[in-house]
């Protein structure tokens, strides 16, 4: 393993959750020279990590015990709470002054509750959700949105450099707010790109050529570039499964309702993803939303 920049005072990193995103993130940390100890609920997902020098823990608590920093990449707020909280949860097994970094996409209030539990145990806490999908995790190009106290962020910041570009956006919960903003833009733009390509196709144009013509113009975006191509090729292998996109649009809608905000476009798109999942496409990439729009227009998706 190469010896990269080590975090000040950080010698061991516990990684909890080594699925689609967590596994490549753990590999990148190990390749930077950090000592990494990993755990996943499905043990098979950790076995391939051994070749990178990553230690395999028998439980989440084992991964966290004596670790200077614990990184969490689990699927949802309830799953995170189940693993982290309680008398026998991860936080209870962390060393005083260790840092807990939750990089899952979870509700704002869930992050704030976890931070309170961590503070009571003398543990630092950051909520640091990411955007960029599996490709970003593999390449180390994730956008990382960090909420928490400035001194905790400063202590942990070198964790993020092998993973992508980090921005400290405010106090605890702010990272999750930024991620909800991100997911709102992503979901709504996927729907818009899908509609535009269908419009071009139904009107008799070559949708691939239309996409090509739009690149570099005011309508260009990463979604048009990457997911527009996926839609045209019908390549829906999951980089970001639709079921998790829907989880985030639901969370955003719940927060908007709590804040008495009317977000009509986002509410409509949330409904599209709900129908997509209900029709059995939840495991496909979120760009497969175009299949749901085809259904609504009387077509049978291939």
Q: Over the stretch 17-65, which tens digit does the pLDDT of each residue have?
A: 999 999 999 999 999 999 999 999 998 889 899 999 999 999 999 999 9
Q: Could you tell me the sign of the dihedral formed by the alpha carbons of 18, 20, 25, 27, in that order?
A: positive
Q: What is the pLDDT of residues 248-271, one digit of tens each?
A: 999 999 999 999 999 999 999 999
Structure tokens at 182: 């991100």
Annotated catalytic, 179? Answer: yes
Q: What is the pLDDT of residues 174-224, one digit of tens each?
A: 999 999 999 999 999 999 999 999 999 999 999 999 999 999 999 999 999
- Domains of the chain, each with CATH number or no CATH: 12-170 (3.40.50.720), 178-296 (1.10.1040.10)
- Mean residue pLDDT of the chain comes to 94
Instruction: Count the Cβ atoms, other than its own, within 10 Å of residue 53.
Output: 14
pLDDT at position 3 over 50 = no
Out of 5, 45, 119, 179, the active site residue is 179
pLDDT at position 2 over 90 = no
Q: Residue for token digits 């991100």? A: 182
Does residue 13 sit in helix, strand or coil? strand
pLDDT at 55: 96
Q: What is the pLDDT of residues 108-142, one digit of tens each?
A: 999 999 999 999 999 999 999 999 989 999 999 99
Q: Is 178 exposed, middle or buried (0-12, 13-18, 19+ CB in 10 A)?
A: buried
Q: Spell out the alpha helix ranges (H) of 20-102.
A: 22-31, 44-47, 60-64, 77-84, 90-93
β partners of residue 285: 241
Strands 130-131 and 99-102: unpaired
pLDDT at 112: 98
Question: DSSP for 245-261?
Answer: HHHHHHHHHHHHHHTT-
């Amino acid at each position: 393993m190469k010896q990269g920049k080590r975090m000040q005072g950080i010698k061991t990193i516990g990684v909890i959750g080594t699925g689609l995103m967590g596994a490549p993130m753990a590999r990148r940390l190990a390749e930077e020279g950090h000592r990494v100890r990993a755990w996943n609920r499905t043990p098979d997902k950790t076995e391939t990590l051994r070749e990178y020098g990553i230690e395999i823990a028998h439980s989440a608590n084992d991964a966290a015990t004596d670790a200077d920093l614990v990184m969490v990449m689990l699927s949802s707020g309830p799953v995170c709470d189940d693993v982290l909280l309680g008398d026998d949860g991860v936080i209870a097994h962390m060393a005083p002054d260790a840092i807990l970094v939750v990089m899952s996409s979870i509700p704002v209030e869930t992050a704030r509750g976890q931070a309170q539990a961590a503070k009571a145990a003398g543990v630092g806490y950051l909520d640091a959700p990411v955007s960029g999908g599996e490709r970003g995790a593999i390449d180390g190009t994730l956008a990382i949105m960090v909420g928490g106290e400035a001194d905790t962020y400063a202590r942990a910041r070198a964790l993020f450099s092998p993973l992508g570009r980090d921005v400290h956006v405010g106090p605890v919960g702010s990272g999750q707010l930024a991620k909800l903003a991100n997911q709102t833009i992503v979901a709504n733009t996927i729907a818009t790109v899908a509609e535009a390509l269908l419009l071009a196709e139904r009107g008799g144009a070559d949708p691939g050529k239309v996409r090509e013509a739009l690149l570099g113009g005011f309508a260009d975006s990463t979604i048009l570039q990457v997911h527009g191509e996926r839609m045209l090729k019908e390549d829906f292998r999951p980089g970001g499964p639709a079921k998790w996109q829907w989880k985030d649009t639901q969370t955003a809608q719940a927060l908007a309702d709590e804040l008495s905000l009317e977000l009509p476009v986002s509410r409509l798109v949330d409904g599209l993803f709900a129908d997509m999942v209900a029709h059995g496409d939840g495991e496909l990439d979120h760009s497969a939303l175009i299949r749901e729009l085809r259904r609504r227009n009387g077509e049978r998706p291939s």
